[in-house]
Structure 1
Amino acid sequence: MSDPGPSPRQSSLPAAAVHFGTHGHGRGVDAFGGGRPAIPAAPAPPPARPLPQAPALFAAPVLPSVSVLPSVSAPAEAAPPTAPAPALRRILGGPSGLGTAGLYPARREEASAPSTPAAAGHAIPGLLHHPVPEPDPVRVEEVGRRIKEWAVDEVRLFPPDWEDQFDGFSLGRYMVACHPDAPTVDHVMIATRLMAAENALDDCYCEDHGGSPVGLGGRLLLAHTALDPLHTTAEYQPEWAESLHSDAPRRGYRSAMEYFVREASPSQADRYRHDMARLHLGYLAEAAWAQTEYVPQVWEYLAMRQFNNFRPCPTITDTVGGYELPADLHAQPAVQRVIALAGNATTIVNDLYSYTKELDAPGLHLNLPVVIAEREGLSARDAYLKAVEVHNDLMRSFEDAAADLAARLPDPGLLRFLRGVAAWVDGNHHWHQTNTYRYSLPDFW
């Protein structure tokens, strides 16, 4: 398959999409192992141009150069080396079927080996995931150096006594693992700044570093204007501009967005703003439940987590990869379903790996195992194991929908994007599994 070149700014929706857009959701989980074609491999990427180092706020975007992520096929993950306990047998095992390997560009041939616990951390038994290569240590070190320099010197993102926690987050390993197709370190840094800023806001506005549900809506709205700028009168513009430097979350959002919009197209930037609005809406729902001490039904919790989740991260995979999925193709319902399922599955991964950490925090911290235990009357262990099943169902649905979409609309740009999203899903799990500074597993096995 030849390289299609840079994605055009104008509408470029392939004719096949006229028909696929009417089909709705992909076939169910039962069809997952039915021999779907793999996403085709693409040619090696051309050299990427360097990104600007001194961006101006909301400057005119520059069309990114095209980068293509080669696909590396690997067999499906084998069962764990030891026999599972009876309660786990129904949820153990990896993906299967002919349509799965091409979805995972970050896999290596060793993925077919027994999934013994890694030295840096244990994978959750029975959790459907795909091993990935250890992130490039040279890139990891450079991204880690640059993100700390940005956080400390450019935006003053955290006070000195948070330094250990910032270092323990291992942003360099996280983002390099999630974006193996990024042509340069500068491209990885686009995602890394945004991730750092999002987490600073979560800590300072919502979580245990001064956050509170009280007044959260006002704080989030004002912070969102650092991403989606205020258009107001000349009299009040200076006050708004000054407010963007008033606290760490707004400083982080403003600066990270400056870098992002210089590389993103207008549609990519607007897409990101939309998904960040979704994220903030999810924050508000969780805060409302905290204020009223309401434990949601399981389906209600999952609805909240579709908004309060990782979706803004995989949605920019094309910007970080140095290309663009056209807006009219990205907006297709089938594409949106794949992105939503990826965000939902990766967010439940966070619920499961952070379970013990959140139990140690003051007050009731909602996560999927806690909500299942409360609403379905299960023990903590059984609720946790059921949450693993929920994750696995979401992962199978994601993989099924992505393979189905690739078969029905084999557009080169879309295939590239689907590989990038799948790589993000795998890299996100790898970071959670190996980040023993933050996470440890409950004693349920």
Structure 2
Amino acid sequence: MPDPRPSPLPSSLSATALPFIPAPAAHLPGAGAVAGPHAGPHAGPGDGHAREGAAAAGRPSPAVELILRGPSGLGTAGLHLARREEPPAPEVPGTPAADGAPAADKAGETGEAGEAGNPIPGLYHHPVAEPDPVRTEEVSRRIKAWALDEVELYPEEWEDQFDGFSVGRYMVACHPDAPTVEHLMIATRLMVAENAVDDCYCEDHGGSPVGLGGRLLLAHTALDALHTTQEYEPAWARSLHADAPRRAYRSAMEYLVQGAGPSQADRFRHDMARLHMGYLAEAAWAQTDYVPEVWEYLAMRQFNNFRPCPTLTDTVGGYELPADLHARPDMQRVIALAGNATTLVNDLYSYTKELASPGRHLNLPVVIAEREGLSEREAYLKAVEVHNDLMHRFEAEAAAVAADCPVPSVLRFLRGVAVWVDGNHYWHQTNTYRYSLPDFW
């Protein structure tokens, strides 16, 4: 069995942890971080972060170094990034940094899933290495077989969209320390199931805000089982096979329970309840045609966000962050900031896709434009700034937790969340099947 290896992906926590300064002070990217180029002297309002450039910071703080090197000392070998059953693929150079590459020439321009794609100019991020192609292919094969054979997730005419999602590349990029492909499959099934619920209940494949609460509550019982009388339990059990989202939730949760500890599974249930509450808030606003204040939108996005995904990092990594350490207020703050920042990455990369869809889709640029009277371009660039501020605060808060509680499992969990943040950006940038950039530069 090979020795444990460090993750091939540079972590967001490789940056020097800077104190959070709300603005207008510039946030300097740390080592390996990128804030893309600006378009020249007439960039316009909201370009503060686009003008940062890719500035390297000095030596990482001791707290960050603790996270990067992992635990040390007698008995800690098993707490490093996990051993892999298969040998790692040869190292592939990372995706190019945003060091002058232009945005897409035309809004709406797309390519095949897996093309390099361009990062959003000015967006603070960390380029990552290409995910292991052998693992990516195997995860992609297994998840498609699961979707078709085990849960009958989608009809034949949706196959191109499923393939274009590139979920195998996504999860391999986000979880490079998974000890086996089956560990990766835990996260991959849940990601696909969550998207099935979003698409079929909330979005463009039959979704509607009308009656959403009832649908979500019944689907949630596939994650958090109904405990009732013998008379009524069979009807509930049958309901879990009634539609694709519930079939996917039920099956993915069964696999999670088999591979996770009880507290990890319960953590996931609570995070999914948070997600569903966020769905309901957005649906309520859609029903009343309400555009929230910017802070209200950000509050909704703290719930309707990626949080359930990075908090699986210990389960997928084959270890467990104890429940009391996960519940620490400072750890909860780090997790919330990570989820908030990664969700705004989705807002920014999916901006043109949502503009081209029927109806009004709320995202941070749209809300800023409406509530603060800015042009579409100004609002988009301000949304980039909001993301960057959240990223810097995430890194600073994570470094503070590492310094205050340098427990091996805490350090590994923090690194895993940071790697997930980086992998999430990588997937959005490179998935040109789904996303393209607006012509704002």
Identify the TM-score tier after normalising by the shorter chain. Answer: 0.7 to 0.9
Aligned equivalent of 1:333 = 329
Match of 2:32 among 71, 76, 92: 76
Question: Partners of 1:355 and 1:90 in 2: how far apart?
Answer: 19
1:221 aligns with 2:217: yes
Could you report, residue by residue, the CA deviation over 1:139-193 in whole angstroms, capped at 9, with x for unpaired residues?
A: 0000000000000000001111110000000000000000011111110000000
Counting only pairs closer than 5 Å after superposition, residues 202-213 of structure 1 correspond to structure 2 as: 202-213=198-209
C-alpha deviation, 1:27, in angstroms: 5.3
C-alpha deviation, 1:80, in angstroms: 4.8
2:433 is matched by which residue type in structure 1? Y
User: Is the 2:117–2:430 Cα contact (8 Å) retained in structure 1?
Assistant: yes
User: Is the 1:77–1:111 Cα contact (8 Å) retained in structure 2?
Assistant: no
Q: What secondary structure sits across from 1:403 in the alignment?
A: helix
Question: Partners of 2:219 and 2:22 in 1: how far apart?
Answer: 43
Q: What secondary structure sits across from 1:323 in the alignment?
A: coil
Counting only pairs closer than 5 Å after superposition, residues 259-408 of structure 1 correspond to structure 2 as: 259-408=255-404
1:167 aligns with 2:167: no
1:28 aligns with 2:20: yes
Question: Partners of 1:27 and 1:81 in 2: how far apart?
Answer: 24
2:378 is matched by which residue type in structure 1? D
User: Is the 2:66–2:406 Cα contact (8 Å) retained in structure 1?
Assistant: no
Question: Partners of 1:220 and 1:78 in 2: how far apart?
Answer: 39
User: Is the 2:36–2:120 Cα contact (8 Å) retained in structure 1?
Assistant: no
Change (3 A) 1:80 1:395: closer
1:177 aligns with 2:173: yes
- What runs of 5+ residues in structure 1 fail to find an aligned partner? 4-25, 36-73
RMSD over equivalenced CA pairs, Å: 2.7
Aligned equivalent of 1:432 = 428
The TM-score with structure 1 as length reference comes to: 0.81
Question: Partners of 2:232 and 2:320 in 1: how far apart?
Answer: 36
Question: Partners of 2:336 and 2:253 in 1: how far apart?
Answer: 22
Q: How many residues align?
A: 383
Change (3 A) 1:369 1:434: same
The TM-score with structure 2 as length reference comes to: 0.82
Q: What secondary structure sits across from 1:182 in the alignment?
A: coil
Could you report, residue by residue, the CA deviation over 1:369-410 in whole angstroms, capped at 9, with x for unpaired residues?
A: 000000000000000000000000000000010011111111
Question: Partners of 1:127 and 1:427 in 2: how far apart?
Answer: 15
Aligned equivalent of 1:199 = 195
Q: What secondary structure sits across from 1:241 in the alignment?
A: helix
Question: Partners of 1:312 and 1:389 in 2: how far apart?
Answer: 25
Could you report, residue by residue, the CA deviation over 1:95-141 in whole angstroms, capped at 9, with x for unpaired residues?
A: 74523577679999968966454962010000000000000000000
1:416 aligns with 2:412: yes
Question: Partners of 2:234 and 2:419 in 1: how far apart?
Answer: 42
1:263 is matched by which residue type in structure 2? G
- What runs of 5+ residues in structure 2 fail to find an aligned partner? 4-17, 70-80, 82-90, 103-114
2:434 is matched by which residue type in structure 1? R
Query: Which shows bigger deviation, 375-384 or 102-111?
Result: 102-111
Change (3 A) 1:128 1:113: closer
User: Is the 1:131–1:430 Cα contact (8 Å) retained in structure 2?
Assistant: yes
Change (3 A) 1:151 1:90: closer
Question: Partners of 2:95 and 2:143 in 1: how far apart?
Answer: 30
Could you report, residue by residue, the CA deviation over 1:213-240 in whole angstroms, capped at 9, with x for unpaired residues?
A: 0000000000000000000000001000
C-alpha deviation, 1:93, in angstroms: 3.6
Question: Partners of 2:275 and 2:135 in 1: how far apart?
Answer: 29
